Amino acid sequence: DVKVTQSSRYLVKRTGEKVFLECVQDMDHENMFWYRQDPGLGLRLIYFSYDVKMKEKGDIPEGYSVSREKKERFSLILESASTNQTSMYLCASSFSQGLRNTIYFGEGSWLTVV
């Protein structure tokens, strides 16, 4: 079975702290994604990566950066956490098969910024 593992399930951080959210997948997928999920807004794409060291901005990249040094690992970085970044963060990966892309999600990381 494909597994997407997010390193932290629950975090509480202070405003201004630097926060790292780590995601690892074990199926050699090219594509990896970071989303945040907020009530009434659904999932929104922050950044995605289609290869090592490659990244593209999603719909809401402001306040975030990412790192993909190895194919299996995609990190989301909050350079200076703010209270409006309190949210649930989901990592996902997919193996591109033309237009038919099966996507796999991690369990989610609940971040509270106080």
**Closest CA relative to residue 79, chosen from 13, 12, 8:** 13
Q: How far is the CB of 73 from other proteins (least distance, A)?
A: 19
Residue selected from 25, 85, 93, 94 as contacting other proteins according to rule CB under 8 A: 94
Under the criterion CB under 8 A, does residue 48 sit at the interface with other proteins? yes
Under the criterion CB under 8 A, does residue 54 sit at the interface with other proteins? no
Burial of 31 from C-beta contacts in 10 A (0-12 / 13-18 / 19+): middle
Q: How far is the CB of 21 from other proteins (least distance, A)?
A: 13
CA atoms within a 13 Å half-sphere pointing along the CA-CB vector of 107: 7
Nearer to other proteins, 58 or 63 (CB): 58
Q: What is the spatial distance between Cα 86 and Cα 72, in angstroms, rounded to a whole number? A: 26
Whether the CB-CB separation of 72 and 62 falls below 8 Å is answered with: no
Under the criterion CB under 8 A, does residue 107 sit at the interface with other proteins? yes
Under the criterion CB under 8 A, does residue 85 sit at the interface with other proteins? no
Q: How far is the CB of 8 from other proteins (least distance, A)?
A: 12
Binding site for other proteins (CB under 8 A): 31, 33, 37, 40-45, 48, 50, 58, 88, 90, 92, 94, 96, 99-108, 110
